[in-house]
Structure 1
Amino acid sequence: MDDAQLQPGQLLARGVARYLRRNDFACLEEFVPRRGLRTDVYALGPGGEIWVVECKSSRADYLSDQKWQGYLEFCDRFFWAVDGDFPQDLLPAETGLIIADSYDAEILRMGPETKLAPARRKKLTLKFARDGARRLQGYRDPGVPALTGPEA
């Protein structure tokens, strides 16, 4: 997809996913851990750790986000990803911070760790794998709906 077709938040998500991939994380963009919640970047680390990264392209984008605290129960660490011009003082100090652009990213502040319960981690890891496999199948065989179907 051409950069001109992507929204500013999607460009940030791409840079974040590239950075995390270099650090041995697998990422899914627009992952839904449960109905009503859609994370910008959901990352699964080499040790099974799960990170959520919410990408905010502007002050208005951040201020309109009323759901972010609902993501905390679906990850071990939570981060905001913003560009270098974003007013960082708006972001809660008790969350992680990533500076990103469409090509790369860097963690400025590590989000605090709150480990998921083992049963929830297993359920989310399985959902991550199944959603990722469906998306891949959709790219390989466009006649198969990759992002729809029975809920996990």
Structure 2
Amino acid sequence: MTLELKPGQELARGVCRHLASLDFVSIEEFTPKTGLRVDVMALGPKGEFWIIECKSSRNDFQSDKKWQNYLEWCDRYFWAVNSDFMTELLPEETGIIIADAYYADIIRTGPENKLSAPRRKTLLHKFARQAAMRWHNARDPGLIHL
């Protein structure tokens, strides 16, 4: 059975593959806090957190009104877009990743804004729990988490 991916999901897959080559682990559709859901949250080998928002079109980007709320939840913020996207539209203070369903390349690294220690601890806890719950659900789809 082949799962049909939407354009944003294809970008996320390529991004996650590239991040793995940089020794990052990632979770798609991660919720750092109630009301916020990021496309990709990545945890690096030195404990750094990156958020990557995948935009499949100009309209998709322009309709995103909450991306600035994500900045306080990561050390670096990136947009992932395809090679046809007009990157001039993306804010200069953010990173850019060009991606497709199979690979990605970082073409601009945004500035580092280090998380506070308490926020990093909270994120690490949520990241670990969400990853573990997803693994349990994959191994035992009938398992109910309280």
In the TM superposition, residue 111 of structure 1 has moved relative to its aligned partner by 1.3
Partner of 1:138: 137
Q: How far apart, in 2, do the equivalents of 1:78 and 1:51 lie?
A: 6
- In percent, how many aligned pairs have the same letter? 60
Q: How far apart, in 2, do the equivalents of 1:2 and 1:120 lie?
A: 38
In the TM superposition, residue 82 of structure 1 has moved relative to its aligned partner by 0.2
Q: How far apart, in 2, do the equivalents of 1:74 and 1:94 lie?
A: 16
Partner of 2:18: 19
- In the comparison of the two structures, how many residue pairs are matched? 146
Amino acid at match of 2:2: D
TM-score (norm 2): 0.97
Q: How far apart, in 2, do the equivalents of 1:66 and 1:135 lie?
A: 28
Matches within 5 A, 1:94-113: 94-113=93-112
- TM superposition outliers: structure 1 runs of 4+ over 4 Å: none
Matches within 5 A, 1:1-152: 2=2, 5-145=4-144, 149=146
Q: How far apart, in 1, do the equivalents of 2:2 and 2:101 lie?
A: 12
TM-score (norm 1): 0.93
Q: How far apart, in 2, do the equivalents of 1:88 and 1:100 lie?
A: 12
